[in-house]
Amino acid sequence: MNNQEHQTPHICFYGAGSMAEAIVRGLINRAVAEPQQIAMFNRSNAERLDYLAQTYNVQVGHSAEQKQSMLQRSPILVLAMKPKDAAEALKALGPILHEDQLVVSVIAGLSIPTMQALLGRKQPIARTMPNTSSSIGLGATGIAFSKEVHTDLQQKALSIFEAVGLVTIIAEEKMDILTGISGSGPAYIYYMMEAMITAGVEGGLMAEQARELTVQTVLGAAQMMLQTEEDPANLRKAITSPNGSTQAAIEVFAAAGFTETVKAAVRRCEERSKEMGAAIQESLS
Ligand SMILES: NC(=O)C1=CN([C@@H]2O[C@H](COP(=O)(O)OP(=O)(O)OC[C@H]3O[C@@H](n4cnc5c(N)ncnc54)[C@H](O)[C@@H]3O)[C@@H](O)[C@H]2O)C=CC1
Ligand SMILES: O=C(O)[C@@H]1CCC=N1
């Protein structure tokens, strides 16, 4: 731990992987939190904690005592471990929490009732589904609250995710479909971009050109939707000249079942999120 270890953290990240880092980077870059107001720890990866302490100047906890102290002193705890590790963590957390500490989960599939059952108490809980674009302030987060989360705590939770992008309150039962759209969605776009870059290189572009052109194309398309508020189908049609090159490309996508494939992928993502939640719930019995 660094030399300011005794400062009371405002927010503690329980699990210090990609998603926790994305939120922390966003909070610090947007100056929403001082680095030393943020505490982070993981299961056992000291090298990773050293990297986080050096890169962001956040507090990190190595020993069991440091971790417990961070958990007990932070008014907000962000659960950011993988679903398979959540049951064990929540069971251990229950006895050491105070009733007014807000638990914010970013864990896919894990429901509020399951979290409360694992904690063994009716803790105030915000269940969220952010995405990694939070690290540059362009995240998209869905959030649902347990009924114990009063207005002040709701505001605190919202302010974390507002600081790192867009946040929208949704009914908890919609969280899995939201995971299929915005939680996992950046990966679908990257997948598309990987394929476009490969096709560009195979067609003779230099790798850097193919990358630059692909990135700018995706950025421009997203900004067009945002700024014009136009229906994407209309924006697509404006590019698609009758019998032109775009039409030829769209026909290849359509013949391969593009829309059905994307819908099936989103549905499978939703279903997988539910399966992961159900697996955690099983650990209650
Ligand atoms: N990566 C993403 O794009 C998104 C991830 N999520 C959710 O965020 C959560 C974390 O995902 P990633 O950051 O990608 O995973 P990751 O594998 O990068 O990080 C998980 C972290 O949890 C720690 N951990 C595990 N068990 C622990 C324990 N008992 N005590 C303390 N630390 C423990 C690990 O050491 C590691 O630091 C998952 O539940 C996932 O569903 C949600 C939205 C997007
Ligand atoms: O792939 C996963 O399970 C997590 C949830 C949303 C994004 N990544």
70/166 same-domain check: yes
Strand order in the sheet with 139-145: 59-60, 38-41, 11-14, 76-79, 102-105, 125-129, 139-145, 165-169
Mean pLDDT (whole number) for 21-30: 94
Please state whether beta strands 59-60 and 38-41 pair in parallel, antiparallel, or not at all (unpaired).
Answer: parallel
Please state the ipTM of this predicted complex: 0.98
Count of helices and strands (H, E) across the chain: 12, 8
CA 52 to ligand 1 centroid distance, Å: 15
Residue 169 in contact with residue 129, Cβ under 8 Å?
no
Cβ-in-10-Å burial (0-12, 13-18, 19+) of 94 comes to: middle
Residue 106's CATH number: 3.40.50.720
107/28 same-domain check: yes
pLDDT digits (tens, 9 = 90+) for 170-222: 999 999 999 999 999 999 999 999 999 999 999 999 999 999 999 999 999 99
170/212 same-domain check: no
Q: Is the CB of 80 under 6 A from ligand 1?
A: yes
Per the structure, the count of domains in the chain is: 2
CA 265 to ligand 1 centroid distance, Å: 22
Cβ < 6 Å from ligand 2: which residues? 108, 179, 183-184
Nearest CA to ligand 2 atom 8: 184
Is 30 inside a domain boundary?
Answer: yes
Q: Which atom of ligand 1 has the smallest separation from the CA of 276?
A: 41
**What's the one-letter identity of residue 114?**
T
Nearest CA to 8 among 25, 33, 31? 33
Cβ-in-10-Å burial (0-12, 13-18, 19+) of 214 comes to: buried
Is 201 inside a domain boundary?
Answer: yes
171/236 same-domain check: no
Q: Which domain holds residue 169?
A: 11-175
pLDDT over 70, % of the chain: 98
